[in-house]
Amino acid sequence: MHTIVDARVIITCPGRNFVTLKITTKSGVYGLGDATLNGRELAVASYLTDHIVPCLLGRDARQIEDIWQFFYRGAYWRTGPVTMTAIAAVDVALWDIKAKNANMPLYDLLGGASRTGVMVYGHANGKDMDETIAQARHYKDMGYKAIRLQSGVPGLASTYGVSKDKLYYEPADSARPTENVWSTSKYMPTVPKLFAAAREALGWEVHLLHDVHHRLTPLEAGRLGKDLEPFRPFWLEDCTPAENQAGFRTIRQHTTTPLAVGEVFNSVWDAKQLIDEQLIDYIRTTIVHAGGISHVRRIAHLAELNNVRTGFHGATDLSPVCMGAALHFDLWVPNFGIQEYMRHTPETDAVFPHAYTFSDGYLHPGTAPGHGVDLDEALAAKYPYRAASLPVNRLEDGTLFNW
């Protein structure tokens, strides 16, 4: 009855590419897991189809932990975004099945609701400060309690993270990567000005966030954090690349602005020093890119011991399946901080009918058994895969840059 009899990868592009794993058991119950890795969708699809599915068929779907360990420890080549995204898809699909069999919403199976809703933040983007503030007002009017502010930088033609879309966020804009130009000296003074204007326009009740997208050195990040302190930011995100975790000690020595990191992490090992030494305040590692619920749960527990809260990545390139699973996790996890929420297009929402709802700045995962997100396969088949890459950055002298 619990034997896995089918596991299939479904790729669809209702505006952007999404990869979904569908696992079915002998009794006919199925579960869905997101396997989308922006710009590398086909690599994960191949990893699943060629290496995981043949080992999954015939296993007992109830043995989530053993299956997770098999694919993690048994792979020899451990961790990495492609591997961990593929493992996450299996893990989330199996949790979905377990919760459906138990006739429980996933959050109940995890330990029950710890809060009535999940506070989310959206992105206010603008080509300049005025446009960003106008967009932030719009989010506030929609009920958002937290808003990320990103603005174009005078003198730079385009800036990563400042998308033309307003409610969605899609930086993968062409098959071959677009090349943006970056200047730290042009960027640095713009952010405190933006925050000063935002406090003036929006008041002090609303939480304000900013994403640096890994563009600064630790010392520069410390300076930016200090410059932002008077405006009480909720967090400063990805202010420096985190491969060198010790670099965050420098930032901590210079600022009390809370720090958020981890959307590109795929394992607890990427964050261990940051969390152990309390060098960050929010861990952003997502369920889809870090081995699923089984592994992110370990990261969250380690974080809890060190006063670090969760703040999961939730841009438009994470599918509704990931969002559904994340919201169940968020509703349960004791050390929840905030959840990013950039919406999906109506086409995507139609392909992935879901139980989660937004109201007054909070999302709720709904009470449907499982994670509450489904996939309309017939509709999905109408949107074939389209290659799209994330941009790269160069400095003004042409140096390829991405710290």
Which residues form the catalytic set?
Answer: 160, 213
| Backbone angles phi and psi of 390, in degrees to 5 | -80, 150
d(CA 329, CA 296): 9
Listed ranges 82-90, 268-276, 292-300, 313-321: which one lies at the site for ligand KDG (CB under 6 A): 313-321
Q: Tell me which residue has its CB nearest to Mg ion.
A: 211
CA R_g for the chain: 20
CB-wise, 198 or 288, nearer to ligand KDG? 288
Where in 321-350 is the site for ligand KDG (CB under 6 A)?
A: 340
Mask for 158-197, x = binds ligand KDG (CB under 6 A): -----------x-x--------------------------
Smallest separation, CB 315 to ligand KDG (Å): 3
Query: Which tokens sit at 3?
Result: 């034997």
* Residues forming a β-bridge with 60: 3
**Residues in binding contact with ligand KDG, number by CB under 6 A:** 11
Of residues 196, 232, 236, 194, the one with CA closest to residue 218: 236
Q: Compare residues 253 and 402 and give the one whose CB is closer to ligand KDG.
A: 402
| Encoded tokens for 54 | 């043949």
Query: Segment near ligand KDG (CB under 6 A), from 18-26, 60-68, 310-318, 369-377?
Result: 310-318
Q: Is 41 in the site for ligand KDG (CB under 6 A)?
A: no
Q: Which stretch binds ligand KDG (CB under 6 A): 60-68, 189-197, 218-226, 312-320?
A: 312-320
Given the DSSP bridges, would you call strands 235-237 and 207-211 parallel, antiparallel or unpaired? parallel
Our CB check for ligand KDG shows the closer of 147 and 315 to be 315
Shorter beta-carbon distance to Mg ion: residue 294 or 310: 310
Per rule CB under 5 A, count of chain residues that contact Mg ion: 2
Q: How far is the CB of 146 from ligand KDG (least distance, A)?
A: 13
The Cα 236–Cα 252 span in angstroms is: 12
Contact between 270 and ligand KDG (CB under 6 A)?
Answer: no
How many helices, marked H, and strands, marked E, lie in the chain?
15, 16
Comparing CB distances to Mg ion, the nearer of 20 and 285 is 285
Residue 104: name the closest of 354, 333, 363, 371 by CA.
Answer: 371
**Partner touching 294 among ligand KDG, Mg ion, none, CB below 5 to 8 Å by kind:** none
Binder of ligand KDG out of 263, 270, 281, 330 (CB under 6 A) = 263
Three-state secondary structure readout of 151-214: ECCCCCCCCCCCCCCCCCCCCCCECCCCEEEECHHHHCCHHHHHHHHHHHHHCCCCEEEEECCC
Kindly give the pairing relationship between strand 118-126 and strand 362-364. Answer: antiparallel
Q: With binding defined as CB under 5 A, does residue 211 bind Mg ion?
A: yes
> What H or E segment, with its residue span, contains residue 318?
none
Question: What residues line the site for ligand KDG (CB under 6 A)?
Answer: 38, 169, 171, 211, 213, 263, 313, 315, 317, 340, 390
Question: What residues line the site for Mg ion (CB under 5 A)?
Answer: 211, 263
